[in-house]
């Protein structure tokens, strides 16, 4: 039996972990840590909403090392999740009104009396500030999704939703209305799905002064049904990034997908009656599929690599190529200065001197790597 520093209460004892697990689920806790002790094992649990509400409720289980030992479950304090106020977005009173309104609307379709209660909740006591329209919209959208599930469940449904909601662009399209330049779908082949979405106002970002560096990347953080999202933007002469559009593709990033992305950009500009765009450079994370696509569509554009991704790879290679630890931070500073070169000739001259300096200091392997990959 463990010794206590807190006022722990014994909840119950269990012969098997499955019975214990059911109680832990009912108590709405998750595992925080486990500690192997002299005569047994202790596993600590905390409230699942501890961060949101600073809930003090804690539990732990203890089981001895001997055969046939029972699981002992202890608890400390009590949940405050049902009464504690939310730190962000809507306060509890407004959330409760939205929950009630959505449930009634789902049942009988009449929410006008509850709308009055919601208005009172927004101005009533205990609310530090009235919720903004955006907070209200997000809360209703979250509740609707919780009640009804995801609005789109298949590739076919996504195709129908996009085709009905987002028309093809034209010169008469409103500046902030979402338009599509292409929409391809094959329900039997998830990788065949492809669409490019943008607006007139976003396309006009390509005309920013000095906006001749196109930036492209793929992200897996917005995936739904394993679809990948490709992002497209442009940086101006002040190095500010302006969004241009997004593309939803299948599961695989490929040269074909990026070729389609650049062609869709050209198509969207033609549909909207905007001038053709020819970037002087395209910046990416160095993915070979992007590099090949750039050479096919924008043959005169330079292929630049995002400094963040380059720096990340260089850090790994410094360890592999035997660069001394005390020299690594200085090398990163030297590379940071190198990438600020105003012209290509200046960059090549500075890089040549830097590579020679590294070889003189005995970092020949790293010097060869940097010249082969990044110069």
Q: Where does the pLDDT of residue 93 fall: very low under 50, low under 70, confident under 90, or very high at 90 and above?
A: confident
Token duo for residue 296? 């096919």
Question: Rounded to an integer, what distance in angstroms lies between the CA atom of residue 136 and that of residue 124?
Answer: 16
> Helix, strand or coil for residue 281?
strand
> Helix, strand or coil for residue 189?
coil
Q: What is the DSSP letter of 229?
A: E
Question: Rounded to an integer, what distance in angstroms lies between the CA atom of residue 334 and that of residue 328?
Answer: 10
Element (H, E) at 64: strand 58-64
Q: What contacts 206, CB < 8 A, 6 or more positions away? A: 234, 244, 269, 274, 277
Q: What angle do CA 175, 205, 165 make, to 5 degrees?
A: 40
Q: Is residue 112 pLDDT above 80, yes or no?
A: no
The helices-and-strands tally (H runs, E runs) of the chain is: 13, 12
Give the tens place of pLDDT for each residue, 33-83: 888 888 888 999 999 988 888 889 999 999 988 888 899 999 999 998 888
Q: Is residue 23 pLDDT above 90, yes or no?
A: yes
In contact, 242 and 233? CB cutoff 8 Å? yes
Q: Is residue 287 pLDDT above 90, yes or no?
A: no
In contact, 110 and 101? CB cutoff 8 Å? no
In contact, 214 and 280? CB cutoff 8 Å? no
- The reported pLDDT for the residue numbered 135 is 73
Q: Where does the pLDDT of residue 13 fall: very low under 50, low under 70, confident under 90, or very high at 90 and above?
A: very high
Nearest to 156 by CA among 185, 181, 191, 197: 185
* Count of residues in the chain: 375
In contact, 351 and 344? CB cutoff 8 Å? no
Using only C-alpha atoms, the chain has a radius of gyration, in whole angstroms, of 29
- The reported pLDDT for the residue numbered 186 is 75
Question: Rounded to an integer, what distance in angstroms lies between the CA atom of residue 291 and that of residue 281?
Answer: 11
Q: Whole-structure pTM over 0.85, yes or no? A: no
- The reported pLDDT for the residue numbered 183 is 87
Comparing 243 with 102, the larger pLDDT belongs to 243
Look up tokens 């409103």; give the residue.
Answer: 174
Question: Rounded to an integer, what distance in angstroms lies between the CA atom of residue 340 and that of residue 236?
Answer: 15
Percent of the chain with pLDDT over 90: 31
Give the tens place of pLDDT for each residue, 328-349: 899 999 998 988 888 889 989 9
- The reported pLDDT for the residue numbered 218 is 82
């Amino acid at each position: 039996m463990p010794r206590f520093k807190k006022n722990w209460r014994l909840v119950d004892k269990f012969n098997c972990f499955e019975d214990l697990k059911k109680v832990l689920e009912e108590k709405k806790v998750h595992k925080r840590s486990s500690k192997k002790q002299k005569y047994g094992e202790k596993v600590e649990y905390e409230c699942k909403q501890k961060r949101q509400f600073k809930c003090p409720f804690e539990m732990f289980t203890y089981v001895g090392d001997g055969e046939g030992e029972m699981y002992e479950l202890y608890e400390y304090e009590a949940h405050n999740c049902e009464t504690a106020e939310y730190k962000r977005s809507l306060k509890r009173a407004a959330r409760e009104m939205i929950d009630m309104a959505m449930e009634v609307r789902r049942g009988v379709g009449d929410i006008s009396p509850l709308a009055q209660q919601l208005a009172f909740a927004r101005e009533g006591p205990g609310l530090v500030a009235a919720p903004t329209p955006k907070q209200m919209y997000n809360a209703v959208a979250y509740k609707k999704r919780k009640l009804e599930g995801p609005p789109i469940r298949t590739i076919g449904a996504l195709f129908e939703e996009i085709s009905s909601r987002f028309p093809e662009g034209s010169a008469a399209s409103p500046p902030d209305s979402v338009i599509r330049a292409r929409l391809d779908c094959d329900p039997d082949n998830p990788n065949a799905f492809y669409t490019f979405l943008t607006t007139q106002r976003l396309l006009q970002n390509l005309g920013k002064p000095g906006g001749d560096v196109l930036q492209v990347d793929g992200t897996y953080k917005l995936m739904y049904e394993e679809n990948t999202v490709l992002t497209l933007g442009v940086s101006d002469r002040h190095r500010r990034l302006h969004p241009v559009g997004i593309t939803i593709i299948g599961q695989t990033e490929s040269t074909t997908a990026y070729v389609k992305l650049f062609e869709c950009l050209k198509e969207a500009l033609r549909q909207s009656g905007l001038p053709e765009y020819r970037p002087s450079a395209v910046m990416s994370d160095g993915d070979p599929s992007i590099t090949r696509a750039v050479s096919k569509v924008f043959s005169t554009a330079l292929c630049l690599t995002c400094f963040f991704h380059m720096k990340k790879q260089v850090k790994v290679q410094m360890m592999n190529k035997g660069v001394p630890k005390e020299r690594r931070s200085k090398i990163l500073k030297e590379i940071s200065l190198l990438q600020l070169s105003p012209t290509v000739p200046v960059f090549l001259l500075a890089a040549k001197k830097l590579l020679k300096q590294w070889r003189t200091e005995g970092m020949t392997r790293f010097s060869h790597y940097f010249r082969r990959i990044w110069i």
